[in-house]
A and B are shown apart, each in its own frame.
Chain A
Amino acid sequence: MAIYEDLSLHVRLFMKSYPFSRYTIAPTPCARLAKPIERSRVALVTTAGLRCEGQSDFDRSDKRGDPSFREIPNTIETSRLVESHRSYSFDHEAVRSDVNLAFPLDRFRELDSRGAIGALNHRHFSFMGSIVGPRRLIDKTAPQVAQMLAEDRVDAVFLTPV
């Protein structure tokens, strides 16, 4: 577990003063898995700031944090994904050496090929997670992605921070 004491003083002070409780999810939404995972369509969502070559970069200058997302096709060669997260509170080299560390598409391909999940969705989604002012995420981009996943008839979503 990463703990506050591991983080830089600057990050720690920010985290201590940030009003996380303002964004407590209540009541807890609960979508039950309608069928066994072996028959479920699965999509991945990461906040590691990944994008495909040719897609526009996230806006690292947005003080509130860029709430936009990038669609990652399921056919992507994972080693070609570009990581450009703005945060300096984590080691970028690790995820750049193996993107599965924060977007485990190759691991899920293994699960798919041995029938441990029903199918992988034809697309996945990437955000850049350092969204300090999440109002636009809550009101707009998160519901947009949820809608797209629902249209794809996705059953389960696996999310990874970085």
Chain B
Amino acid sequence: MCQQTVGLLQASIERAGMATVSISLLREVTSVIKPPRALFVPFPMGYPLGEPNNAPLQRRIIAAALGLLERDGVPILEDFK
């Protein structure tokens, strides 16, 4: 349900004029909700930024997600590699 909540929040925030990007743990949900920008990550529920206390991994995921903000065209739903 978290994925749906995130997507619905993105929709409201974008309609108010701000660009958004989210992390997604469940492709099955996000690809139906279709938020404007989301990065699919290969981690279990509860681990959106990879691992606890693994700052280098968290930084890489954040950088990849922020990169989606600077691209043209939506929706942009991409895999973290």
* Chain A residues packing against B (C-beta within 8 Å): 1-4, 6-7, 15, 20-21, 23-26, 28-33, 36-37, 45, 47-48, 65, 87, 89-92, 94-95, 97-98, 100-102, 104, 106-108, 110-111, 117, 127, 129-132, 134, 137-138, 142-143, 145-147, 149-150, 154-162
* Additional pairs, 11, CB under 8 Å, beyond known A2-B45, A94-B51: A1-B43, A20-B29, A23-B8, A25-B11, A29-B14, A47-B6, A95-B52, A101-B50, A149-B16, A155-B19, A160-B49
B 35-81 contacts with A by CB, 8 A? 35-36, 40-53, 55, 58-59, 62, 65-66, 69-70, 74-75
Within 8 A of A (CB), among B5-42: 5-29, 32-36, 40-42
Q: Which of A31, A37, A102 contacts B48 (CB 8 A)?
A: A102
Nearest to A152 among chain B residues (CB) is B18
- Taking Cβ atoms with an 8 Å cutoff, the residues of B that contact A are 1-29, 32-36, 40-53, 55, 58-59, 62, 65-66, 69-70, 74-75
The main secondary structure of chain B at its interface with chain A is mixed
* B36: chain A residues within 8 A (beta carbon): 25, 28-31
User: Which of B10, B28, B32, B62 interacts with A108 by CB under 8 Å?
Assistant: B62
Are B12 and A87 interface neighbours, CB within 8 A? Answer: no
A5 to chain B, nearest CB (A): 11
